[in-house]
Structure 1
Amino acid sequence: MKKLASILGALLLMVVLSILGFIAWQSPSYDGELQLCCLGNKVEVYFDQFGIPHIYAQNETDAYRALGYIHAKERLFQLEMLRRVGSGTLAEFLGKDLVEVDQFFHTLGIPKHAKESTAALLAQGNTPWRIAAEAYVEGVNEFIAHGKLPIEYLLIGEKPRLYTLEDMHSIIGYMSFTFAMAVKTDPLLTRIARDLGPDYLSALAVETLPEHHMIPVHYPDSSQSASTYSNLTALLEKILVPQLQGSNAWVISGSLTQSGKVVFSNDTHIGFSAPSVWFEAHLEYPGFSFYGNHLAGIPFGFMGNNRHHSIGLTMFENDDQDFFEEKLNPKNPNEILIGEEAYPIQTRKEIIQVKGGEPVEWEIQETPHGPIINPVVKEIAALTTNPVSSWWVYLLEPAKSFEAVYKMNHAQSMQEVADAAALIHAPGLNIMYGDIEGNIAWWGAAKLPIRGDKVHSKIFADGSDPNAQPKGWYPFEENPKSVNPPIGFVASANNQPDSTRGGHLFPGYYFPGDRWNRIAKTISSRSDWDVKSLQSLQLETVNEVFPELAQFMLSEVNRDDYQEFSAALESLETWDGDHQIEKTAPTLFYKWLIHTWRLAIEDELGKEGFEAFLQTFVMVNSNHHFITKTDNPWWDKQNSPEKETRKDILSEALSLSLDELSKQLGSNPKDWKWEKVVHLEHPHPLGSQKPLDKLFNVQAGPIAGNEEAVNKLTLKPLPDGTYQIVAGPAIRIILDFGDLENSVSVLPTGNSGNRFSKHYADQKELFVKGKYRPQEMNEEKIKKKSDNKLILNPAD
């Protein structure tokens, strides 16, 4: 027995040593010297204590080559997944289960558009942004050819192909799709309008309502101020990479700050993931100094700052995608009619390669309005047998995102940034700006279409009606913007911008403005803002609307029916809307709110239709309007002989909520703490497969916040009565131009995507606890404090 035990012990030791050796082999090195074949001169890279690379180069191309190499070293598999989604090649990489996803993106037209955008970029000649992008690509490919590939490739038995400019445009295309809310929303709203009628639609806040808050504009030279309805959601969940969802940003002029200089803040709201979406990097070369936040595979920072100015972004949420229900020509089914004129339906074929299987040939049909998407959006196929075309602004001209963002990174004046913003045609972005000279600004960057008079932008249009056709574009000069407004700040929180210079209130998928209102009121309340004080605003978890709504709901039920839970109802009645994790009122409120919605609309839309509804902007936008509306037809259940009222639904929903919480958390309402029902996990693309979730996913636990607090969290109800936090701040940035080198930032996980890096999740605790870390730009301090220096030398 002793001999057997000795053998088993030796085997166990060998296994442990093998695992430790493998981890050591996989762990990325942040020290030493390497040779890169594409470099012209030596580049020094200093990594700070959180793994942020500070790249010191002697020229621009070497800086971007080095960035490409380091970015691939830290985020190659994330880059791989993003380019695979955007290029419609997931099935080639992961197998047949992803064929439908590839078919969707090919039909939508993103891979085709990536080719067209690349051709347009090359046709511009040797522009600075093209040279920089190609240098970045060289750096990525240097790592692919000679670097240590991350473990994900080993686990799925694949190797990466070389990176290209077309891949880069594919990633931009996917990002643009995640901004396009129409495909997730319009089929459902069209069904409601057709099957149930205008009264049902008017009970929802489909457009901005008077009680919602608008972003004020300021022009410096003007005084104007079905049963298949969850198929798309299920399809998109297969993508395994995060989608962009919203954001907060505000820029405060020196008149309201302690330093007398501009203070800038941005937190983008994106699906949580491991690694997190943004990669931070600091570039220095003669004439250029920039601290940027980069998407995997993209060389230029969509957010960041140089020594002169800072740029940030939020989603504009403008409606840039319409659907046209076509009328086939009775004389020729391969044509559609617009008025009396016939137009041919064009056909093209795509070949989708499938790992371990035969290639799939996919036929795509297109009308003058765009691709016919019935075959890939089952919601639309269930809604009508007529062809439905997707008209999407993004596909109508080549993307100039690289040129725009490069110019924003390198600009030295506010006007240069404004000119660069005008190059963005889609997706719609709110570009936020502040500079060392004291200027603050916000521009709605997008090409805004002039729609036909009969077009409701969220309901399928009659493709045969000549008056429903797009009529052209509003000039960029009329886009919503605010430049150096008298109020002393600009802010954006995905809510409706006020009317443009031409008096147009542009339609979109805007949020109600609760966050914006809270931000605006708070900023206006004092004139000594600094980096420290703004942290409390960025982390605030108060929702001012929910307590009012909770009191209204309580007034509609008979409190005597719930005597044993009187303490819980009193807690809800006195709730101030805060969502700190020790609070109990949010736990009851959310349960009651969701049951109210379900009991009201599930009988009309079905279970899967209700699940699809929860994925749209409409519920958050409609909460107050829907519940307080007296003549709301949704209250009456369609399949019952009685006519239910709001009181009936609210009472039933409250009874269900109290019963479920008692079973889930115990009979004492004091135990119904918010921390027991909200949980944050950062999922990795391979983490959906057990036991890989234990290896790759990052568990973060409960975190304070809610749907429309400044610290916005998107919650997904789970069958066990808890909520999965699926999206929220993907970065938090605050900087003061009075002390630029002491800016702060924090990521939800870490800067590295390598599972065995010490920087894979080293910011997790900071993020959950509402803490920040330095955003270093001081060369002397960086070099003195850094324990990790990597020298990249030109190859002999």
Structure 2
Amino acid sequence: MRVLVRVAAVLGKFLGGTALALAVFLAGTYFHVRGALPSYSGTLELAGLKAPVEIIRDKNAVPHITAGSIEDASFALGYVHAQDRFWQMELMRRVGQGRLAELVPAVLVGSALIDSDRTMRGLGVYRRASESVNALSPAMRTRLDSYAAGVNAWLADDDQQFGLELTLIKLMSGGRYRPEAWRPADSLVWAKLMALGLDGNWRAELLRLRLSQKIGEDGVKFLIEPDGDSKDATLSMVLAAVKDIDLDRIFRGTDNEVTRKRMASNEWVLSGAHAVSGRPLLANDPHLGFSFPGVWYLARLVGPGFDIRGATSPGSPAVVLGHNGTIGWGFTTTNLDSQDIFVERVDPTDPNRYITPDGARPFGVREETIKVAWGEPVTMRVRETRHGPVIDDFIRRSDGLTPQGHVLALQATALDGADTSAEGFARVGSAQNWEEFLAATRRIVSPMQNMVYADTSGNIGLISPARVPIRRKGDGSMPVPGWTSEYDWAGFVPFDELPRAYNPPAGRIVNANGRLVPDDYRHFISKDWAEPYRQRRAAQLLGEVQRHPVYGMIVMQADNLTLDAAEMLPWLLKGAPRNARAAQARDLLGRWNMFMLAGRPEPLIYDAWIAELQRGLLADELGEELYNSLPVPDVPLMVRILRDKPGWCDDGGTKRTESCEDAIALALDRALDWIARRQGNDMTKWQWGREHNAVHRHPLFDGVPLLRDIASVRYPADGGNQTLNRASPSFRGKRPFDAVHGASYRGIYDFSDLENSRFATPLGQSGNMLSPWARNFVDRWQKLAYIEIGGSRGETARSSIGTITMNPTGPR
């Protein structure tokens, strides 16, 4: 999860100076010479273990951890996570703690880190994570303690080299920085941040409210295409209440990678009737923001009663995605609406109180102090209501004034202090059958994931577990009055009524963030389903073959057909070309097979054309700032405009009245002008991959010229925003088509022989940019060459790159 993009931006500016860049480069060489890379071999005596543990790193640097208990395996996993990814873990927990500004002087990088800290402190992310520790079972707390002890065993080495990133931070702190001990709450921060992002729609509510102020209630209804009973009957009341609240300031000030939502993932599971082997196949590729290092870390945990393999998240002791020799599982995001903004009415007689259905009630108030490197501490006052924190308080105001009439409060399941989700996800890895799998998922509060399942007995299934709010009125897609109980949450959907399927007659389950439940499902889940194109394409490919091999799953995960073009091209190609260049482009797209291939010009022309068309249709209606707040090009929306709202095709900035045919032609001209400036006039030589690089940015060094090429990873990429092989452009900035979001992991599990399962991540195991294991998967990822994580101890050891033996010493 690329939660540190703001750090990248501000530190990039700071580190961009030639002198400092050279110093950093020399420092990198120094640490390489000093042996900053961790040792993967040796014997260690460590307090905190019950029994000896062996860690064999296979030929791909994947640790195979053999321990006498899951607690000791968690200890060792904490140790290897710290060895390979500690600086990533440190920045992740500091994001959640709201303590980034302590690391880098604000006088050098401005206020961005302080703003991020204010949002995290205001939300109370780390406070809630600390509370959630106490909600876990004794067994899970012991496992978290063991994991933390493993991290701290690595930190305790007095001669420990923490890598270039944290060494630079130490230099900027005047030598005062040293990592603090890892705590169980630190491991829960990752889950909280994921839940806020994956279930997050509160900023979408803010955006819709801003849009309502600009284009009115009917315009917003058209943009978001509401279904069923409209929740907007109260919109006039809400708009009146928030007229004095600076929604633009709040939206801008809370914008970061935690709160900014991008949704995508693929999963499908087949019964044995649809597999060549006669046993189930399960495929999953979760999509997240690209970064260096990547989100996931591959590992295998082996011990009495467990053999769990797959993707772990540095900072957490669980295998989040994978199989355990008996069952396997995968996730896609449901896009649950579990976050609501309530407009609270401040008591007109006492600004320290707010109105509730039972009369005025005092705000809960807490003070937060943010330490700032080289600067004075920043103190913020956060108010709490019965619904949650007041988000107005997250934002710095230069005028020092706070609107008195109304404020906005956020209620979110992710901010529940009794959250047991971490235990639920961890218990999934120990389940041996469908009933145990369901029992584990009962513990999940947030985020809601569509969790597919298969087992060696031949069963397949799906469950989407979480606390799903039951609203007394409305669907939560827009802010609602908080001074009345009319829109309050009335509880949560009972677990047994959550969406599920077990051994469905079709023998196939597919989800790619698309609509999960039919219209007659009795509970509200979301209105923010992803566009149907990836889900439709996966179902299409699965239906074309009666029985699929493992390799067929690989081919599907690499599929580059963009089905949105089937809906959009008839509109784009409807009119007559207006010049020879347009005719050539239209001819190419008319013969295009709709595959987004890096070496072809058609994907570039198509994406540039629809991006320019959406801007032409909406930018003048919404204004530049609001337009830039919208997601990437929305094909269903553009089709609705062209079909139902032709008046939106007119450019309000010109005297003449443009038709939709004019808007389409002008968008093509602008797109072709832009491409020609970058790739020349010969259209046949244009290539999608020259503009569409998969960009895995280093959070700290991507802006440093001498370090960018060794710190970050870039390569031309197939795919696009709506392909199964998702590689979604940002559609922003100087390189708008660079891919910044896509598959972060690929797993394929063969239940006829789980040793034949396949695993892949885009980069490598190590987060140290000097390590040979930092990018060892890049070439394989591009060539669809997955790895296997299996084999006996002897087989793994024979080709290993090192073995660490841990022996217990001292009191536990």
TM-score, scaled to structure 2:
0.88
Whole-Å separation in 2 of the counterparts to 1:772 and 1:205: 39
Give, in whole Å, the separation in 2 of the partners of 1:384 and 1:634: 37
The residue aligned with 2:661 is 647
Structure 1 position 205, deviation (Å): 3.8
Alpha-carbon shift at residue 56 of structure 1 (Å): 1.2
**Change beyond 3 A, Cα 1:645–1:528:** same
Distance in 1, matches of 2:282 and 2:403, equals 46
SS at structure 1 position matched to 2:394 = coil
Alpha-carbon shift at residue 171 of structure 1 (Å):
2.2
Q: Deviations over 1:49-73 (max 9, x none)?
A: 1100001122332221111111111
Q: Partners in 1 of 2:493 and 2:257 — Cα distance?
A: 37
CA distance in 1, matches of 2:519, 2:140: 31
Q: Which whole-Å CA distance do the structure 2 matches of 1:475 and 1:271 have between them?
A: 33
| Aligned twin of 1:567 | 584
Range that drifts further, 433-442 or 574-583: 574-583
What secondary structure, in the 3-state scheme, does the structure 2 residue paired with 1:329 have?
coil
Q: Indicate yes or no: 2:201 matched with 1:194.
A: no
Matched residue, 1:148: 161
Residue equivalent to 1:128: 139
Cα 1:767/1:552, change in 2 over 3 Å: same
Residue of structure 2 aligned with 1:364, choices 364, 369, 382 = 382
**8 Å contact from structure 2 (residues 28, 164) kept in 1:** no
- Name 2:745's counterpart in structure 1: 731
The one of 628, 631, 641 equivalent to 2:645 is 631
Kindly state the Cα deviation for residue 82 of structure 1 after the two structures are TM-superposed: 0.8
1:327 shift after superposition: 1.9
Residues 548-606 of structure 1, C-alpha deviations (whole Å, 9 max, x = no match): 31221220x331x1223422211112222110112211111111111111122112322
Name the residue aligned to 1:297.
315
SS of equivalent residue, structure 2 residue 492: coil
Q: Give the C-alpha shift of residue 692 in structure 1.
A: 6.3
Q: Does 1:419 align with 2:433?
A: no
**C-alpha distance after superposition, 1:168-227 (max 9, x if no partner):** 222221121121331332211112223312432243244479xxxxxxxxxxxxxxxx99
Identity rate, percent: 27
Residue 670 (str. 1) matches residue 688 (str. 2) = no
1:108 aligned to 2:113?
A: no
Closer/same/farther in 2, CA of residues 480 and 627 from structure 1, 3 Å limit: same
CA contact (8 A) 2:493 2:523 kept: no
Match of 1:9 in 2: none
Could you tell me which of 335, 339, 342 is aligned with 1:324?
342
CA distance in structure 1 between the aligned counterparts of 2:638 and 2:597, rounded to whole angstroms: 22
Question: Structure 1 pair 23/316, CA: closer, same or farther in 2 (3 Å)?
Answer: farther
CA contact (8 A) 1:683 1:696 kept: no
For the residue of structure 2 that corresponds to 1:332, the secondary structure is: coil
Contact 2:318 2:425 in 1 (8 A): yes
- Structure 2 residue aligned with 1:743: 757
Select 1:576's aligned residue among 569, 593, 599: 593
What do residues 103-153 of structure 1 show as CA deviations (whole Å, max 9, x unaligned)? 1011122122112112333xx4xx222212111110000001114322211
Q: Which of residues 612, 621, 634 is equivalent to 1:604? A: 621
Amino acid at match of 2:67: A
How far, CA to CA, are the matches of 2:348 and 2:712 in structure 1? Answer: 57
Residue aligning to 1:53:
63
Task: Encode CA deviations 1:715-754: one digit per residue, 9 max, x unaligned.
Answer: 0135445522111100111120112112111111101112
Number of residue pairs matched by the alignment: 756
Deviation at residue 274 of structure 1 after TM alignment: 0.8
Distance 2:215 2:152 in 1: 55
Match of 1:218 in 2: none
Q: Hey, what does 2:282 align to over in structure 1?
A: 264
Against the structure 1 CA distance between its residues 436 and 468, is the aligned structure 2 distance closer, same or farther, given a 3 Å change threshold? same
Look up the SS of the partner of 1:324 in the other structure: strand
8 Å CA contact retained: 2:745, 2:761: yes
Using the TM superposition, name which of 546-555 and 498-507 deviates more. Answer: 498-507
Structure 1 residues 456 and 287: CA distance shift in structure 2, 3 A = closer
Note closer, same or farther for the CA distance 1:731–1:721 as it changes in structure 2 (3 Å cut).
closer
Q: The residue matched to 1:733 in structure 2 has which SS? A: strand
Query: Post-superposition shift, 1:334?
Result: 2.5
Deviations 1:589-643 (A, max 9, x none): 111111111122112322222221136xxx4474454344322553344455544
How far, CA to CA, are the matches of 2:670 and 2:743 in structure 1? 32
Change (3 A) 1:141 1:341: same
Q: For structure 1, which runs of at least 5 residues remain unmatched after alignment?
A: 1-14, 210-225
Match of 2:184 among 165, 179, 202: 165
Q: How far apart, in 2, do the equivalents of 1:383 and 1:640 lie?
A: 38
Aligned partner of 1:588 in structure 2 is 605
1:316 and 1:428 in contact (8 A); partners too: yes
Residue 23 of structure 1, CA deviation: 3.8
Counterparts in 2 of 1:673-684, with a 5 A limit? 673-684=687-698
Query: In 1, are the aligned partners of 2:383 and 2:393 still within 8 Å (CA)?
Result: no
1:651 CA drift (Å) = 2.0
Residue 443 of structure 1: CA displacement?
Answer: 0.9
- Aligned counterpart, 1:462: 481
How far, CA to CA, are the matches of 1:703 and 1:95 in structure 2? 37
Distance change in 2, residues 1:167/1:16 (3 Å) = closer
From 278, 285, 291, the equivalent of 2:303 is: 285
Q: 1:597 to 1:335 in 2, by over 3 A?
A: same
Given candidates 781, 787, 795, the residue that maps to 2:795 is 781
Contact 2:382 2:393 in 1 (8 A): no
Measured against aligned partners, the alpha-carbon deviations of 1:356-411 in whole angstroms (never above 9, x if no partner) come to 222221100111121111243699x9999730111112223521123212211111
Q: 1:38 to 1:274 in 2, by over 3 A?
A: same
Moved more, 15-24 or 632-641: 15-24
Separation in structure 1 between the aligned mates of residue 358 and residue 43 of structure 2, nearest angstrom: 70
Change (3 A) 1:638 1:143: same
Distance 1:667 1:716, change over 3 A: same
Partner residue, 1:791: 805
SS of 2:509's partner is strand
Counterparts of 2:721 and 2:249 in 1: how far apart (Å)? 22
- Residue 583 of structure 1 aligns with an amino acid whose one-letter code is R
Return the match for 1:373 from 391, 399, 408. 391
> 1:336-347 counterparts in 2 under 5 A?
336-339=354-357, 341-347=359-365
Q: Which residue of 2 aligns with 1:249?
A: 267
The amino acid of 1:84's aligned partner reads: R
Q: CA offset at residue 710 of structure 1? A: 0.7
The answer to whether residue 564 in structure 2 is matched with residue 545 in structure 1 is: yes
Quote the Cα distance in structure 2 between the aligned partners of 1:377 and 1:739: 54
Rate the CA distance shift 1:692–1:103 in 2: closer, same or farther, 3 A. Answer: farther
Which residue matches 1:216? none
Alpha-carbon RMSD across the aligned residues, in angstroms, is 2.9
Task: Write the letter of the residue equivalent to 1:118.
Answer: V
Write the distance in 2 (CA, Å) between the matches of 1:542 and 1:711.
9
Task: Measure the CA separation in 2 of the matches of 1:482 and 1:448.
Answer: 18
| Contact preservation (8 Å) 1:370, 1:391 | yes
Aligned partners of 1:229 and 1:612 also within 8 Å: no
* In structure 2, distance between residues paired with 1:296 and 1:323: 32
What is the identity, as a one-letter code, of the residue corresponding to 2:168?
L
CA distance in 2, matches of 1:632, 1:299: 54
Amino acid at match of 2:198: F
Instruction: Give 2:332's aligned amino acid.
Output: T
SS at match of 1:710: coil
**Pairwise CA distance, 1:484:** 1.0
